Structure 1
Amino acid sequence: MTFHHKVAWITGASSGIGEALAIELARQGARLVLSARRIDELQRVATATGLEADQLLILPLDVTDEASIPERVNDVLIRFGKIDYVFLNAGISQRSFVQETNFAVYRRLMEVNFFGAVALTQAALPVMLAQKKGHFVVTSSVSGKIGVRQRSGYCASKHALHGFFDSLRAEVANDGLNVTIVCPGYIQTPISQSALDASGYAYGRSDKHQAEGMPVDRFVSRMLKAVAKEREEVYIGGRELTGIYLKRFFPGLLSRILRNRIVEQ
């Protein structure tokens, strides 16, 4: 009953993890705010949730448009009067070597993955502090804990999320607010299809590891169990999670493994 009648705002709700979150949260009785840039895809996801119109708000949002975010927060309050959960799930990946990558690609990755999450958090935070309750759920990655080839900007943006939200958690610990950082491994989503190449264009291909990863509905089930338990940080995936523990206890070994890893083409 954790999410029953709760208001959950999901960014990146038009596909992948965000879409699966919307469907599962609706099944558990939550009221939803669905945000992404593609309104047609949001409408498709809204239909898939099976929710009545008064239990759902389609709220198109580009998280890089910082100036529009306070108004979007107000739209949610007008509709539902509160915000219980913000699932900061909007994100974009990368497939390119450092020496080949246009600097604008790094700016784009940081704007979407990091600054977009920070802007929405700052806008929603006063609402949650006034309520004396609220929960930020941040979709990071195993790449938020380690660095791998062809993901330099993506890894940097996810590492930044950990620093920011660990700090926020410490600041709001006595205010009734929670922060959960979720680190997926390989999950069956279209993230590699829309990843940026060296010039900023869509990579347009599915990675082998991604295609063979954990089904997204199973991932979301485990994710929401961790959120319900108010876990601070959780890792969900397969054997790739071993890298997190190798980084902690055997960093030299992990470094050798990663530098010799075959690059996906």
Structure 2
Amino acid sequence: MSFTDKVIWITGASSGIGKHLAIECSNLNAKLILSSRNIEALKAVKTLCKNPLNVKLITLDLEDYTTFKTKVTEAISCFGSIDILVNNGGISQRSLAQETSIDVDKRIMDVNYLGSVALTKTLLPLFIEQQSGHFVVTTSIVGKIGTPLRSSYAASKHALHGFFDSLRAEIHTNNIAVTLVCPGFVNTNISLNALTGNGKAQNKMDNATKNGLAPERFAQLMAKAIYKKKQEVYIAGFKEKLGIYTKRFFPKLLSKMIRKLSVT
């Protein structure tokens, strides 16, 4: 497996899944464009890559759609083209729906859903022109199953599935692939940075997240799914995967199981 001569643009690349995917793709000889709001963290990721000379950095705020046309032009100029866009940037949530400000709902949708959709739409003309391309989206198991304390987060991830499933059907004749990657619990800082009902960070590591899949291993499995152009892949523990199939075949049973999950 190799990404030799492939240009991969990864958002949310300064930490967590994005950081480790960047390192893994660099090990597989990809040319990388890494984006997030934190340029210093991106510089640190670049030094961990196999060939830093083949890594370019572009600051990007997923809430600021007005910059995307300029950012896409800048990204294309890095290596002359783009083969794969990994829509990985996002934020999580830990709060009851009734205690979550609508401003928090809006921010989560702006970053997780509209940011990825807007960037995809801005890059899409290039993929259509070159009659090739690959959109990869980091969603979540919660994009298939809504669970307590994650109502807005689950909604944003469900929305990504709806949009990108539709887009896949529209652009298949243009030789453009769409891969939806659904992580379960991964040992990253996602729960530390998750928004509470008033919009402040939780600043606490969830036990399930702490005991989740190692991000290095997750990145290996995600890179494999990208290479194979899988339509949808679940990279998660047994219980999380079981939940998806239980919902598909025994939805009432899953509802009862979900109600027993802690909401504190």
Give the TM-score band, short-chain normalised: over 0.9
Instruction: Note the C-alpha offset of 1:229.
Output: 1.2
Structure 1 gaps of 5+ residues are: none
Instruction: Note the C-alpha offset of 1:161.
Output: 0.1
Same amino acid, percent of matched pairs? 49
Question: Hey, what does 2:191 align to over in structure 1?
Answer: 192
Aligned residues: 263
Instruction: Note the C-alpha offset of 1:262.
Output: 2.0
Q: What do residues 72-103 of structure 1 show as CA deviations (whole Å, max 9, x unaligned)?
A: 11011222111100000001000000111111
What amino acid is aligned across from residue 45 of structure 1 in structure 2? Answer: V
Question: Hey, what does 2:36 align to over in structure 1?
Answer: 36
What amino acid is aligned across from residue 188 of structure 2 in structure 1? Answer: T
Question: Hey, what does 2:25 align to over in structure 1?
Answer: 25
In 1, Cα distance between the equivalents of 2:208 and 2:243?
Answer: 15
What amino acid is aligned across from residue 135 of structure 1 in structure 2? Answer: H
Question: Hey, what does 1:78 align to over in structure 2?
Answer: 77
Instruction: Note the C-alpha offset of 1:8.
Output: 0.3
State the superposition RMSD in angstroms.
0.9
Instruction: Note the C-alpha offset of 1:227.
Output: 1.3
In 1, Cα distance between the equivalents of 2:169 and 2:202?
Answer: 38
Question: Hey, what does 1:236 align to over in structure 2?
Answer: 235
* 2:97 is the alignment partner of 1:124: no
Q: What do residues 165-203 of structure 1 show as CA deviations (whole Å, max 9, x unaligned)?
A: 000000011111000000000111110000000100000
In 2, Cα distance between the equivalents of 1:196 and 1:98?
Answer: 12
* 2:6 is the alignment partner of 1:6: yes
Q: TM-score, normalised by structure 1?
A: 0.97
Q: TM-score, normalised by structure 2?
A: 0.98
Structure 2 gaps of 5+ residues are: none
Contact 2:187 2:210 (C-alpha < 8 Å) held by counterparts: yes
Question: Hey, what does 2:63 align to over in structure 1?
Answer: 64
* Paired residue secondary structure (2:174): coil
* Paired residue secondary structure (1:181): strand
Instruction: Note the C-alpha offset of 1:51.
Output: 2.0
In 2, Cα distance between the equivalents of 1:100 and 1:75?
Answer: 41
What amino acid is aligned across from residue 256 of structure 1 in structure 2? Answer: K
